Amino acid sequence: MLGRGHWDADALRDVVRDYALETLADPDAVLVLDETCFLKQGKASCGVHRQYTGSAGKITNCQIGVFAVYASRHGHAFIDRALYLHKTWTSDPVRQAAAHVPEGTAFATKPGLALAMIERAMATDVPFSWVAADTVYGVGDIEMALRRAGKGYVLGVKTDHLFNSWIGKPPVAGTAEAIANGLAPTAWTRLSAGDGTKGARLYDWAYCELADLDGAAYDQTSLWTRGLLVRCSLADGERAYFTTWCPAGTPIQTLVGVEGRRWSIEDAFETAKTELGLTHNETRSWHGWHRHVSLVMMAFALLAVIRHHANAPPPKYSSGVDRCGPISARCGGLR
């Protein structure tokens, strides 16, 4: 089924996406992008290379997959995936052929793979208003593509990322870290990034509006705001920085909520690995990896739909209605 069968993993990916959206679709949803590693020994498995991965926190021999999770108020599910191929693979046609990599597959960076997923989602009319991702995806082509598409974003950036304010905003200039160091205590507010397993995930937040820009420059009709969002841990004071793009007037609470949706992909990876065997793939080929991952995505989407319906409030009954319905009738009306 994973190796020698004849079926299209991309077709299954699209079926999974459409199935998940039947239940989870919401116009204010967030598309969350991230990567995870698949630890591997040897050199034969497609895409395997000694490389750094954030999920392992070190350089190790592994495959890396880039994923997109659709996160809405109804739940979250994987809707896309791609296997990252290091340049040592894309520059070696013999190695690619042995792993059945499709002809013409060229090198693509992780942000490049993520951008292709965003474009695929927009081309298929996936309803979402925001994109959230960590520092790997926080600058470059993704930003410009989202601006042109009229999509907001909260994207992680490094401490030395430069920001400048202009067009009537309070003067701000320098690295993200320097700007945060110079903020007054009154600039910070305590907000929850959403509920976790231990309750509300509280942090201190600061938001600097940098510029209000005419959307016409990006084929949009309304005014949009570029900004810097800073998150500070209550436990140790560690900070994280995000470049933001949103309709003018968007409150900080909305941006914090979007950033908080990044937790959904961490939850999805953990569930898929511990309960659905995401990393238990023993195939070595390109199509074997994509087939295995697509089947796990299908199982995860099924669980997400079941969870949504199970958590829905019970139906309301008017007074005098037999709440036991047909079962009590078959039992002679006994309670």
HSE, side-chain direction, 13 A CA sphere, residue 133: 26
What is the arithmetic mean of pLDDT over 93-116?
96
Q: pLDDT digits over 178-223, tens only? A: 999 999 999 999 999 988 777 889 999 999 999 999 877 777 778 9
Question: What is the chain's alpha carbon radius of gyration, rounded to the nearest angstrom?
Answer: 23
Q: Amino acid identity, residue 106?
A: A
The residues, any chain, with a CB within 8 Å of residue 108's CB and separated by 6 or more, are 82, 84, 85, 116
Q: Are strands 130-133 and 152-157 parallel, antiparallel or unpaired?
A: parallel
Q: Which has more confidence, 256 or 222?
A: 256
Given a cut of 90, is residue 3 above it in pLDDT?
A: no
Question: In the prediction, which pLDDT does 322 show?
Answer: 47
Least confident of 103-112, 152-161, 197-206, 308-317: 308-317
What does the mean pLDDT of the chain come to? 91
Residue 327 is predicted with a pLDDT of 37
Give the model's pLDDT for residue 255. Answer: 98
Tell me: the pLDDT tens digits for 260-300? 999 999 999 999 999 999 999 888 999 999 999 999 999 99
* Percent of all residues in the chain with a pLDDT value above 90, rounded to a whole number: 79
E strand intervals along the chain: 30-39, 49-53, 58-72, 75-84, 130-133, 152-157, 162-164, 173-175, 189-196, 199-214, 223-233, 239-247
For position 315, what pLDDT does the model report? 74
pLDDT at 49: 95
Least confident of 32-46, 87-101, 129-143, 307-321: 307-321
**What DSSP string runs through 73-122?**
TTEEEEEEEEEE--HHHHT-HHHHHHTTPPTT-----HHHHHHHHHHHHH
Residue 326, pLDDT score: 45
Q: Is the pLDDT of residue 70 over 70?
A: yes
Residue among 124, 149, 129 nearest 32 (CA): 129
pTM of the model: 0.90
pLDDT of residue 137 exceeding 80, the answer is yes
Looking from the CA of 231 toward its CB, the CA atoms found within 13 Å total 26
Which amino acid makes up residue 184? A
pLDDT-derived band at 331 (thresholds 50, 70, 90) equals very low
Residue 319, pLDDT score: 55
